[in-house]
Each structure stands twice: as structure tokens, then as C-alpha cells.
Amino acid sequence: MSWPARIGWAVVALLCLGVAAYSARYLLHPPRTPAQALHNPLGAPWLFVHVAGAVTALATGSLQFLPALRRGATPPHRWIGRTYVTGCLVGGAAGLILAPGSSAGPIAATGFGGLAVIWIAVNILGWRAALQGRFEEHRRWMIRSWALTLAAVTLRLYLPLVVVLDLPFLPWYRAISFLAWVPNLVAAELWLRRRRGR
């Protein structure tokens, strides 16, 4: 791994761990649940399940990019991968249940619901490819999965900007329900196509 790649990995890993730690407070202190989540009629217990799954995915996903773990189907790679995919599937399923109750209305419900559906799908496809020994295809699906997992980070990068720039929260929150993950997925797809073209 080159030095720029190492620095990039470290920055992303720190952001993921920071978001995971920040989100984990919902598991330790349920009364600190944000107001918009409390207004979701589907909030309990699915918010708890969603956060638990997403925190697991964020905490384990970055590890899979370490060269020592990526060399072949090593036991650590397999077990960390299983933990990561389980976190994604649990977090995605709970997110799909939560989405229709979004306090920001049907647009945000569609954005976050779409993320949940695609997040679940790419992880199932990636896991199936690994089980069938199609490891290059597995790698591509899991890069897409990681791009979607990073929606938890990009969401929390966008939201403070809305506050700092004094933008109207509700319409921008609806936009962010798509902006948090669609550009990530597009960037991953472009990167994969570029790598394939070499």
C-alpha cells in the first residue's frame, strides 16, 4: 500500500471509528436518541438494531482493506468479513423498516429506504460470490458495499454544513437522504471501471 493510500485509509478509518463511537451512544444511552428518531413511530426497537448493525459494519469494514488481511481467504479476513456483512444485513434490514416512518416524509423515506435495499443486495451478492469462489467478483461487490456503508460518514459530514451555512433543514435533509450514498456508489463504480480498464 503506497503512502497516499495509507494516509487515505487512516483518514477514512478514523472517520468511521468516530461515527461508530458517536452512534454507539444510542445503544448506551437510549434517552439521548435524537428528536427526529423519537418521532418515528417505528423507532423502537428498530433504531437500536439499525445502530448496532451499522456500528459493527463501520468498526470492521476498514480492517478488510489492510494488505495483510486481503492476501487470500485468510481466517481473519473471513471472520471479519462475516462480521461486517452481518452488520450490514442487520443494519440494512432495520433501516428498511425505519425508512417509511421518517419524520422528513416520503422523499427521505425513499432515499434511506433505497440505500437499505441496495446495501442489503450488494452484501448478499458479495457473500454469495465468495462462497462460490468467484473472488474477483466478490471484491467488486464488497467495494460497492463499503461505499454504501460510508453513507453513515458522509451523512454526518453534510448535516453540519447545513447548520453552518444556515440552510433550510428539511429540504436539505431530504436531499441528503440521497446525497449521502448515491455519489459514493457512483464513485466506487467509476473506480472499479477504471481498474478494469487497466
pLDDT in tens, 184-194: 999 999 999 98
Please give the model's pTM, rounded to 2 decimal places: 0.87
Question: Could you tell me the residue range of the domain that residue 146 belongs to?
Answer: 3-196
pLDDT in tens, 94-121: 999 999 988 889 999 999 999 999 999 9
SS3 string, the chain, reads: CCHHHHHHHHHHHHHHHHHHHHHHHHHHCHHHCCHHHHCCCCHHHHHHHHHHHHHHHHHHHHHHHCHHHHCCCCHHHHHHHHHHHHHHHHHHHHHHHHHHHCCCCHHHHHHHHHHHHHHHHHHHHHHHHHHCCCHHHHHHHHHHHHHHHCHHHHHHHHHHHHHHCCCCHHHHHHHHHHHCCHHHHHHHHHHHHHHHCC
Q: How many domains does the chain have?
A: 1
